[in-house]
Amino acid sequence: MNDLSVITKISVASMIKARVTVTLKNGVLDPQGKAIEHALDGLGFSGVGSVRQGKVFDLELEGTDKAKAEADLKAMCDKLLANTVIENYSVTIT
């Protein structure tokens, strides 16, 4: 094991990985989801009741404090990652 791999392992150990999922709120029209729904139907996937398109962000955060990471991630969502007028978000720390 050389020095570089040791450094890599330390840095990985002190990182928190998180996934932020942003979806449209109920009642907000999603024309892209509708188009995908129609395309699926066209491919023969019958019985698709509805499709709603969203976004996924995978983040790596420095540190090991998961509670702080979660609070920071929620602040990031409120300030930038989601438009809370039309979108909901959820945060998962992995």
- Considering only residues 73 to 92 of the shown chain, the ones binding other proteins according to CB under 8 A are 79-81, 83, 85-86
* CB contact burial 15-48 (16+ within 10 A = b; e otherwise): ebebebbbbbeeeeebeebeeebeeeeeeeeeee
Binding-site size for other proteins (CB under 8 A) equals 11
Compare residues 25 and 70 and give the one whose CB is closer to other proteins: 25
- Considering only residues 22 to 41 of the shown chain, the ones binding other proteins according to CB under 8 A are 28-29, 31-32, 35
Give φ, ψ of 2 to 5 degrees.
-90, 175
Which parts of this chain interact with other proteins (CB under 8 A)?
A: 28-29, 31-32, 35, 79-81, 83, 85-86
